[in-house]
Amino acid sequence: MKTYKSKLSKFSLKVEKTDFPNQKITHSKDSEEFIRQFYSDDIEIYESFFILFLNRANNTTGYAKISQGGCVGTVVDIKIIAKYAVESLSQSVILCHNHPSGTIEPSKEDIAMTNKIKQALSLFDCNVLDHIILTSTGYYSFSDNGLMY
């Protein structure tokens, strides 16, 4: 499948075709299954943060690894997230990180960070649809649990 990635040149926007899989995301399970492919056997070792880019039809258009930390946390820079979201002209995004400890519940810091990212991206008319926390055995969806208000 062909997907499109916008690229800003000196005077105009150009579209580049890529072979990134274009998949419709309709439920948190779709997000979890798609994003899980970016993680390998280190899901129980390092905490990593990814962002999945979607177009207006909720089809995947790309992703970015924002950070990789240690076994108890990772630094998430909202400016980097905003840069990728704007550069890719995303209509919406899905955030994702893993908990190597296996604890599926979000921390207070996870919730606060999600709200800051939502606020920042709203300036660019980009919606944060969900934040998925992965463990090796399951996942937690902020949206499914009423945290994406």
pLDDT tens for each residue of the chain, 149 residues long: 344 455 555 555 555 666 677 889 999 999 999 999 888 888 999 999 999 999 999 999 999 999 998 888 899 999 999 999 999 999 999 999 999 999 999 999 999 999 999 999 999 999 999 999 999 999 999 999 999 97
For residue 41, the model assigns a pLDDT of 82
pLDDT of residue 69: 87
pLDDT reported for residue 30: 95
Per the DSSP assignment, residues forming a β-bridge with 3 are 18
Could you tell me the pTM of the whole model?
0.86
Contacts of 126 (CB under 8 A, 6+ apart): 85, 86, 90, 91, 92, 93
Six token digits for residue 142: 């902020």
Q: So what's the pLDDT on residue 140?
A: 98
Which amino acid is it at 2? K
Distance CA(43)–CA(146), nearest Å, equals 25
Give the right CATH number for 23-141 from 3.40.140.10, 3.40.640.10, 3.40.50.300, 3.30.70.20.
Answer: 3.40.140.10
Q: Which two tokens stand for residue 90?
A: 């995303």
